[in-house]
Amino acid sequence: MDVNIGMYMDAVKAEMTNLDQSDIVRRIWQKDYTVWKHDPTEITNRLGWLTVIDLMRDEISTLESFAEEVRSTGFRHVVLLGMGGSSLGPEVLQQTLSSTVGYPKLIVLDSTIPARVQEVAETVDLEHTLFLVSSKSGTTIEPLSLYQYFRHLLTTTTKKENVGQHFLAITDPGTPLAKQAEQEGFRRVFPNPADIGGRYAVLSYFGLVPAALISGDIRSLLDRADCMRGSCATAESVQENPGALLGAVIGTLALRGRDKLTLVTSPVISSLGLWVEQLIAESTGKEGKGIIPVVGEPLLEPLCYGDDRLFVYLRVQNDDNSSPDRAIERIRSSGQPIVVIEMQDSYDLGAEFFRWEFATAIAGAILGVNPFDQPDVQAAKQATEGVLGDFMTLGHLSQVEAASSLTDLLANADSKNYVAVLAYLRETAEIDKLMASLRRKIAERYHIATTLGYGPRYLHSTGQLHKGGPKIGLLLLITSDHKKDLPIPGKKYTLGILADAQALGDLLALQSSGRRVARIHLSQGDAGVISRLVSELN
């Protein structure tokens, strides 16, 4: 790991000395909750990620055999229904490792936007599709609603007694989903260790089952992860510990105002940023503190970056790195602090998963927060339940007053702010391109960091940071009418109503926590409105 942090090196060395003298690394391996807080709640029962590699090594042959069973049965697609920690790790593995010929293709569905759900339904052949319902708690509303939708579709094409064989579940032991899976005849249930939080679960069944189903080399992933774990466990000092060193750098610089952790990646691992974003944002964004991960932001000229940035470049050898290499060199020459992490190939993802988990635990200790809870996520869930309750009573969604101008939202922006675009839209190449243009214009004009989250996925990722982190976010919520809606069997509301209720619930939660937020509503995903937002910033 190449660390070039200039004037901050002395501060980081002092913090590393403090971590060594406090035996922080040793105490983490001893699962000592006082590293973070004096209360063990949601710490002692969340440290299984430290040892899950050993458990998963024993399950390699089982996972490979199950993958062969799925392949030989003739399944052509696996559709993963999950959110947050249940979906982002598999999304990285799917985009990076891809499917072996003859094995099913993996589609990660972490949206309730009807247009996206319809797109998936029309892409797959239901008779040859296996649905993976993934939820730690077994109560997550999005995957359970999607399960009901797809199960109903299958009843129209498949014999009733065979429908359950199109589903498998990953969940904690004894959850409502585990019981439902047994009652409704799922093909398989993988009970995940209960002492692992969702965002730390990529090296457990939550990540490895979908990886195995596309014939990913899970043994190599675990080997690389175990090598990194060994380095993080046996190093004699923080300086020699790859996970603790990264955590010391990002935690120390965040305390000194460089709290916009800006990730740059080689093209082949571009999706890794989404997983890191969730891990950092949900783990550190609380108690008015937090590190703001900046992922997928267009690379800019150095003069557009403020003095609140730390750049981390994840570079895969032998990839086409010409563009990020040039950008990083320009940024380095401008004096911005930079960390470069070299990866051999895509299977070094295993090592990086563990490195970033350990680094986040260290950064949490430096910031003085519990990196394993998510106290403000429940606020949005409760607000959504309230909105849905009103819908069932009134027959329509309540109106929520909010500012509706991007220029007004940005009017008093200062150098420490960041803009978060929260888009309840179907993610398409066109929308992605427009969002990139919007982020570029904001960063170039105001010299502040920008982030992008698609709803409702971001509620399980950066949602905690936006409500519980520092009050420096300028939050732009974009919602849209739905051209076509889809039912949720057994519910009085639809998928579109659920997505809209989540958007309104989060708006209420953001307002309640005193955040600066504006809402723009589009007519059926009108891309022209986003284009006009970009033009307004010229």
Delimit the domains of the chain by residue range. Answer: 2-30+229-367, 50-216, 377-536
Where are the alpha helices (H) located in 334-490, listed in sequence order?
349-367, 377-394, 406-410, 429-446, 463-468
Nearest of 158, 191, 178, 154 to residue 79 by alpha carbon: 154
Q: 113-117, 260-264, 534-538: which has the minimum mean pLDDT?
A: 534-538
Decide: pTM greater than 0.85: yes
Residue for token pair 């783990």: 283
Q: Tell me the mean pLDDT in the region 291-320.
A: 97
| Percent of the chain surpassing pLDDT 90 | 94
pLDDT above 90: residue 528: no
pLDDT, residue 537, reads 85
99-126 pLDDT, tens per residue?
Answer: 688 999 999 999 999 999 999 999 999 9
Which residue reads 């680094």 in tokens?
359
SS3 content of the chain, % helix, strand, coil (to 5): 50, 15, 35
Question: Do 146 and 154 touch, CB atoms closer than 8 A?
Answer: no
CA-CA distance, 38 to 34, in Å (whole number)? 5
Tell me how far apart the alpha carbons of residues 372 and 366 are, in angstroms, rounded to a whole number: 14
Range 2-30+229-367: architecture per CATH: 3-Layer(aba) Sandwich (3.40)
Tokens matching residue 471: 């009050």
Q: Smallest Cα–Cα separation from 357: which of 279, 251, 242, 271?
A: 279
Is the model's pLDDT at 525 over the cut of 80? no
> Tokens 């029962």 appear where?
45
pLDDT at position 55: 97
Over residues 384-391, the mean pLDDT reads: 94
For residue 456, say if its preceding peptide bond is cis, omega within 30 degrees of 0: yes
Decide if 2-30+229-367 and 50-216 have a common fold: yes
Residue 504 DSSP symbol: H
The neighbouring-strand residues paired with 313 are 264, 340
Q: Does the pLDDT value for residue 197 go beyond 80?
A: yes
Predicted confidence at residue 100, as pLDDT, reads 82
Domain 50-216 architecture: 3-Layer(aba) Sandwich (3.40)
54: tokens are 């050993």
* 423 pLDDT higher than 90: yes
d(CA 467, CA 284): 12
Instruction: Note the pLDDT of residue 134.
Output: 98
How many whole angstroms separate alpha carbon 350 and alpha carbon 370? Answer: 24
| pLDDT reading at 173 higher than 80 | yes
Q: How confident is the model at residue 378 (pLDDT cuts 50, 70, 90)?
A: confident
26-42 pLDDT tens trace: 999 999 999 999 999 99
Calculate mean pLDDT across residues 343-350: 97
CATH of domain 377-536: 3.40.50.10490
- Whole-number pLDDT of residue 214: 96
Q: Do residues 1 and 242 touch, judged by C-beta distance below 8 A?
A: yes
What are residue 241's phi and psi, to 5 degrees? -105, 110
Both structure tokens of 291: 């590190």
As beta bridge partners, residue 107 has: 79
Q: Tens digit of pLDDT for each residue in 434-482?
A: 999 999 999 999 999 999 999 999 999 999 999 999 999 999 999 999 9
DSSP-derived letter for residue 481 is -
**Residue 477 confidence (pLDDT):** 97
Q: Does residue 523 carry a pLDDT above 90?
A: no
